[in-house]
Amino acid sequence: MPKIIILRGNSGSGKTTIAKELQKNLERKTMLISQDTVRREMLNVKGDKQKIVKELLLNLILFGKNNCDIVILEGILNSKKYIKLFKRIKEEFKDNIFAYYFDIPFEETLNRHSKRACAKEFGKEKMKEWWLEKDFMKIIPEKLLGKELTIEEIVSSIINDIKNSVEEK
């Protein structure tokens, strides 16, 4: 049964970094879907055109489910705006969902953002505008990832969660 890893959190929290590391460390048939890539690069739309983004995300997730062992979905993915997508993911993947929320303080996301390539594209004001405090999903349980965890610790923990779930079944 295919699995999905969901990585959510505010801008600058580390989602994309972890997603890319997971893809490198997991099996070959791992598909990475980035909300930003879909929205900004594939569709070239702003925040007011979310319907088309949600549709493409779902189509990509379903493609991944049918053709890959693991799908990684990462993005801010506002819990209220994306509730229908999360419900569909729950229907499609059942107990094969591994969801994580980057519970990182705003100041730490600013620090992390300053080291990113896109740091010149937007700054503190935009990040504050997008900020969602403790935007936990109600429909799918999420493990919280704090600022004290290293990239290696997070990746290792997620891979262990997946391995342990396989052993339990």
CA 43 – CA 24 distance, rounded (Å): 26
> What pLDDT is attached to residue 124?
72
DSSP state of 131: -
> What pLDDT is attached to residue 15?
94
> What pLDDT is attached to residue 37?
93
Walk me through the domains of the chain, giving residue ranges and CATH numbers. Answer: 3-168 (3.40.50.300)
The pLDDT tens digits of the residues spanning 122-135 come to 767 877 887 888 99
Q: Would you state the structure tokens that stand for residue 134, as one six-digit string?
A: 């403790």
> What pLDDT is attached to residue 72?
98
DSSP state of 81: T
> What pLDDT is attached to residue 25?
95
Q: Please name the helix (run of DSSP H) or strand (run of DSSP E) that holds residue 141, with its range, or none.
A: none
List the 97-102 sheet strands across, edge first.
30-34, 70-75, 3-9, 97-102, 142-145
Low-confidence ranges of the chain (pLDDT < 70): 47-48, 114, 118-119, 123, 167-169
> What pLDDT is attached to residue 40?
86
> What pLDDT is attached to residue 47?
65
| Distance between start and end Cα atoms, the chain | 11
> What pLDDT is attached to residue 104?
92
Which residues fall within 8 angstroms of residue 111, CB to CB, at 6 or more apart? Answer: none
Q: Are 18 and 143 in contact (CB under 8 A)?
A: no
Q: Which ranges of the chain would DSSP assign to H, the alpha helix?
A: 15-25, 35-36, 50-67, 83-93, 106-113, 124-130, 151-168
> What pLDDT is attached to residue 127?
75
